[in-house]
Structure 1
């Protein structure tokens, strides 16, 4: 089984961390490859960033379809381009926010999300509602550390840990969801410090994709998620065209 983990940003050091965390939970016989697109933002912290990351995600999905990839993880907590990726991929596609929130619901009555910047909390609330977890999601909190500073700020681990502790106390939650793929390697440390389960969406999504592939399940292609109709694209998107319009 081959799982491709797509980090929608172009920061390769973060992609390497994501790959380590995904491989750590994969079963023997499951190969995990984490990649960044050749185009896109260095980090995703706005609606513009998210929108401009989607062509790069689809580029990697198209490449994966030629490489025999069995399933895909979208490793950004905004779950950008999920519907488009599910149209384009033959195997299952799972986003880390969706997988992490699902996982958290198995561990208690309510969960808190701790993410990077306050400006991204609205998107996280939207996703919780979209996935049907408005009741279980008891709060979404920002630690105000930009995504790229997760790797460089010497105080990042301490700040995020305390934000998780405060969120759990404020919300009365039973679990913490980490709201950024760049936090993927902090779960064990934070959980040991605050005494609650802490969920990394990279691990949760990797195992979800692995389970779906093992069960022989994939996105239904009869209706909305059928492959897109062939047509030409122009300008910067010309490589995405599949045929000239008739």
Structure 2
């Protein structure tokens, strides 16, 4: 059985559990396991927190090899430490942001991203440009919703997220809308019926792509 390892760069265990649950729903056949970077910050809203998380991720790579991971997914939308981990890992490595952008571009060529706070926007924009997809991205938008408010999300938080996605849909006219945070993964199902554009969740996208890479 294919074994896919999700590494959560932050130290919030509840987010790891929710991410793994969403990934297992997306790929029910393979074995999906999740590890939390206990040495990382509670959330990673920007570049500084991301840099602080990288050593903890790298330190888990020998255990990942010993555990038989056949693909590793960086479970942070900023793709925290992706280049460093890919260079050091024994198996394919992808990020949930990277997976979401490529799937969104394949689905409709033009996409918008709705993330959490404004501090995340420059990192996400830089990643999209580095992946060669800047021409496909209409805009990266901040919803103003803190990461920890997404787990679990209250009714008020969901309405704020719907409003942000609807605004992106109306102003950017994208074929796909990308949920720009791992904490949004459990909300993709309830949100989709309220929007016209196709929603892309990076956790599900990365789970499916990682299975293909492992093969």
Structure showing the higher helix proportion among its residues: 2
Unaligned segments of structure 1, at least 5 residues: 215-246
Closer, same or farther in 2 for the Cα pair 1:38/1:109, shift >3 Å?
closer
Cα distance between partner residues in 2 of 1:177 and 1:133: 13
Matches within 5 A, 1:149-164: 149-152=149-152, 154=154, 155-164=156-165
Cα distance in 1 for residues equivalent to 2:107 and 2:68: 34
Structure 2 match to 1:8:
9
Superposition pairs of residues 44-83 of structure 1, within 5 angstroms: 44-83=44-83
Asked if structure 1 preserves the Cα contact closer than 8 Å seen for 2:179 and 2:202, the reply is yes
Number of residue pairs the alignment of both structures matches: 213
Give structure 2 stretches of 5+ with no counterpart: none
How many angstroms apart in 2 are the aligned matches of 1:25 and 1:153?
A: 21
Matched with 2:144 is 144
TM-score with structure 2 setting the length: 0.96
The Cα offsets for residues 67-112 of structure 1, whole Å up to 9 and x where unpaired, read as 1111100010110111111122111000011100000012113100
2:105 matched to which residue of 1?
105
Q: Which residue of 2 aligns with 1:121?
A: 121
What's the counterpart of residue 182 of structure 1?
A: 183
Give the whole-Å Cα distance in 2 for the aligned partners of 1:106 and 1:51.
Answer: 30
The 2-side partners of 1:208 and 1:109 are apart by 18
Higher RCO (CA < 8 A, seq sep 6+):
2
Question: How far apart are the structure 2 equivalents of 1:88 and 1:153?
Answer: 35
Q: Is the 8 A contact 2:10 2:38 kept in 1?
A: no
What are the residue-to-residue correspondences of 1:11-22 with 2, within 5 Å?
11-22=12-23
Alignment root-mean-square deviation, CA: 1.1
Q: Conserved in 1, the CA contact under 8 Å of 2:76 and 2:182?
A: yes
